[in-house]
Homo-oligomer: A and B are copies of this chain.
Amino acid sequence: MAGQKKERSGTERVKYGPLAQWIGFNLRMAQESGFQAFSHLSKEIGETPGRFATLTLIGRNPGISQTVLSRASGRDKSSLTPVLEDLVRRGLVARKRTDHDRRTYRLSLTADGKQALARLNRCAKRHERNLDRIIGARDRAKFLQILKKIAAEIG
């Protein structure tokens, strides 16, 4: 059994082929890793990354409608229905119907919502510091600019 090496955890030599050079694949891997890392950090608070973006956007844009919110956060409006249902039920978000247009809701944060957001922001700061350490201060701005460019122009 000369070179018959046993596969030990993490020792697998997997060939990625063209995948290694593809932006799309590496974008997914990086995003997923970051998502998991933040989930871990914010787990103690009991909130997920998606809800965090939702709360931030509502906090910054009181009175925003669900449709506008969905576009801003890059998700389909139907994805927000259960999320907002839950946030309203738990008293973090207030949802008021407007009288001049009874189709739309006006979303805003409650006091509890603002407090939860503040806690999440502290988590996010830690997370971003980790990312900054990995990316390096010198390349951060450029990297961010490219990410935005991709999101804006690929459609």
Contact = CB atoms under 8 A, between A and B. Distances in A.
Interface in A65-123: 68, 71-72, 74, 121
A132 to B, nearest CB: 8
A142 B138 CA distance: 12
Q: Majority SS of interface residues in chain A?
A: helix
B144 A26 contact: yes
Interface string A24-46: 11111111111111100000000
Q: What is the oligomeric copy number?
A: 2
Nearest to A141: B21
A14 B68 contact: yes
Contacts of A74: 28-29, 32-33
Interface centre among A36, A56, A59 (most CB of B within 10 A): A56
A139 B60 CA distance: 33
A150 B134 contact: yes
Given A31-B31, A33-B155, A56-B18, A148 B26 contact: yes
A107 to B, nearest CB: 12
B143 A146 contact: yes
Given A28-B31, A147-B29, A14 B56 contact: no
A139 B142 CA distance: 9
Contacts of A131: 23-24, 150, 154
8 contacts: A15-B61, A19-B56, A19-B57, A24-B127, A28-B35, A29-B148, A32-B151, A34-B154
